[in-house]
Amino acid sequence: MATAIKIANVVTGGAGNSIGGAQRGGAPSPPPAGFRFRVDTRNSGATRSTDYKLPTRSEGVYNFTVDWGDGSTDTITSYNQAEVTHSYSTGGIYTIDITGDFTGIDLFGSGDPLKMLEILNWGGTNLTINNIFALRGATNMTCSATDSPTLTGDISGCFYQSNAITSGLANWDFSNVTSAQWLLLTVPNWNEDISSWDVSNCTSFNSAFTGTSMSQANYDALLIAWAAQSVQSSVTFATSAQFTAGGAASSARATLVRTYNWTITDGGPN
């Protein structure tokens, strides 16, 4: 059974108006939210039914405290530190909370993608998905987080084969992403309005939304908003969705194709 979350980081001293986690003349300031997620150790994976292995990778940078949700914590500074694998007294569902630097994630490579149940909070700058196929194969994972991870560079294939994802990406800060091909390839139930994304630095959405359930309304909103940005030229974009014929979405799509030389593969006009 999941236990209550305890966040390790508390604001203490330094510049600003908080000392010891309390604002001067006011109520205590809340601790920063970490990278928080739920796992079920009993699902099949590379580790035992009472164990969970954090999805670190050799290229990552790590300096964080992990609260395992069973009353124990560890401080981890290396991707292959023994403590990245935790043994629980009883197999079950646990909430894990990470505070600190957790840069680089490889859920498929950890061998335990089926044990990931839900992303509750991305943790802002505490998490950077700066590698491809970061959350590949998490077929049991949903996302209820409403914040954004720190996204930098190539996040291609991030949710490839993460079939349970339906939403959770609308508030992502996409401004520093350079490639997102295969982002949600064949994630059949995902359908979300992502028109607010800043895609000005992204050079590829090849097959990013192919095989999803993106609605016509959400695709229309995407086309209108993205065509109004100063986007990269010669971007490849693919989705299964249709757009509304003869209206603003159709005009926006034409702008992306003619002005910015985008190659768009979609379900056509409707």
Q: What is the mean pLDDT of each run of 10 residues along the chain (270 residues)?
A: 30 31 40 82 96 92 94 96 97 95 88 95 70 89 92 91 92 94 94 97 96 97 98 96 97 98 97
Does residue 213 form part of some domain? yes
Q: Tell me whether residue 140 is in a domain.
A: no
User: What is the pLDDT at residue 1?
Assistant: 36
Instruction: Flag whether 8 is in a domain.
Output: no
Does some domain include residue 245?
yes
Q: Which residues contact 228 (CB under 8 A, 6 or more apart)?
A: 252
**Domain assignment of residue 89, yes or no:** no
Burial of residue 11, with CB atoms counted within 10 A of its CB: 0-12 exposed, 13-18 middle, 19 or more buried: middle
Residue pair 82/34 in contact by the 8 Å Cβ criterion: no
Burial 199-237 (b: 16+ CB within 10 A, else e): beebbbbbbbbbbbebeeebbbbbbbbbbeeebbeebeb
CA triplet 225, 228, 233: central angle to 5 degrees? Answer: 110
Are 143 and 83 contacting, i.e. CB atoms less than 8 angstroms apart?
no
pTM here? 0.82
Distance (Å, whole) CA 5 – CA 96 = 8
Q: What is the pLDDT of residue 104?
A: 85
The answer to whether residue 197 sits within a structural domain is yes
Radius of gyration in angstroms for the set of CA atoms belonging to the chain, rounded to a whole number: 20
Task: For residue 241, tell me if it sits in a domain.
Answer: yes
Task: Say how many domains are in the chain.
Answer: 1
Residue 197 token pair: 């994304």
pLDDT of residue 130: 63
| Residue 255 covered by a domain | yes
What is residue 228's predicted lDDT score, i.e. its pLDDT? 98
What residue numbers bound the domain in which 238 lies?
A: 166-270
The candidate with the shortest Cα–Cα distance to 67, out of 79, 57, 75, 59, is 75
**The predicted structure's pLDDT at residue 50:** 98
The count of residues in the chain is 270
